Every structure is written in C-alpha cells, then in structure tokens.
Amino acid sequence: MIKKDLNKISISSKQLDHNWHLMDAENKILGRFSSNVAGILIGKGKVGYAPNLATGDFVVVINAEKIVLSGNKVEQKEYFRHSGYPGGEKTIPLEKMLRSDPEKVIINAVKGMLPKNKLKDVMLKRLKVFSGDSHPYQQQLLNNK
C-alpha cells in the first residue's frame, strides 16, 4: 500500500505575485504568438502553477497591427457572431478586422486558447493589447525588474 504524503505544499491566491511581460507582435505569426501569450496568462511556466488558481502574469502586447498570418487566412477567415434573433448572423472578414480593430484579432485568438472555466475572464483581464509602440503600463514593467 502506498502511503500518502499529507504535507504537500499548496499555494493560496493571496500568496501569488504577478509579473508583467512586454511582448512585441511585429512580424509574428498570430497562432504561435497567441499560444505563447495564453501560456503566460495561464501561468504554465511558473513553479507554483495550480489549475484552480489564476497564477498567470500580466501581458502587454504592442504593435498589434503588424501581426502576420500564414497562408490565405487574411482573405478567407471570417469572424462569426449572432444576435440571437432570426436572421441576426453577422460575419466580419479578418482583413476588415485587421484594418479597423487589430487589438480584437489578438484578443479573440488568445481567448480561444484559454481554459473554458470561471478563471477565463480573470486571465483575459490581464491581457493588454495596443496597436502602436506606446502603452500606459511602462511603470509596471519597470517595477517588475
């Protein structure tokens, strides 16, 4: 019979510290970049990772308009939404979305890669996406180091 260790180390949400990461999306492929961001938001790389806690860090993404997609996705991919009413379906081409709101493209890609549970919204709030080089989180990034 295997003896269970009752002195396991557990971590509470009050003991967590969240670092800040700056990621540049310039000339990065959307899917690969989004999976790296999602991994940081989930906290998979941390020693104290627990799936029932939001152990992840904050991520600031800059240059969202310079993201790259492979293949013909820019012309073929469409975002679908439905209002809930009959005939209320809308499709927005990715090309139009990149021109009008490039931040949403990255947010939607990362959102789909996060776990589908109550912590998803908490993790998504820690994602800050900006089109240009400037962002208001410079001080948090400096305090992180």
Over residues 14-64, the pLDDT tens digits come to 778 889 999 999 999 999 999 999 999 999 988 888 888 899 999 999 999
Domains in the chain (CATH in brackets) are 18-69+103-144 (3.90.1180.10)
- Asked if pLDDT for residue 93 goes beyond 50, the answer is yes
pLDDT, residue 57, reads 95
Output the DSSP codes for 50-66.
Answer: -TTS--PPEEEEE-GGG
- For the chain, give percent helix, strand, coil, nearest 5: 40, 15, 45
Residue 109 tokens, joined: 């890609």
How high does pLDDT run on average in the chain? 91
Identity of the residue numbered 80: F
pLDDT, residue 16, reads 81
Q: What is the pTM of this model?
A: 0.87
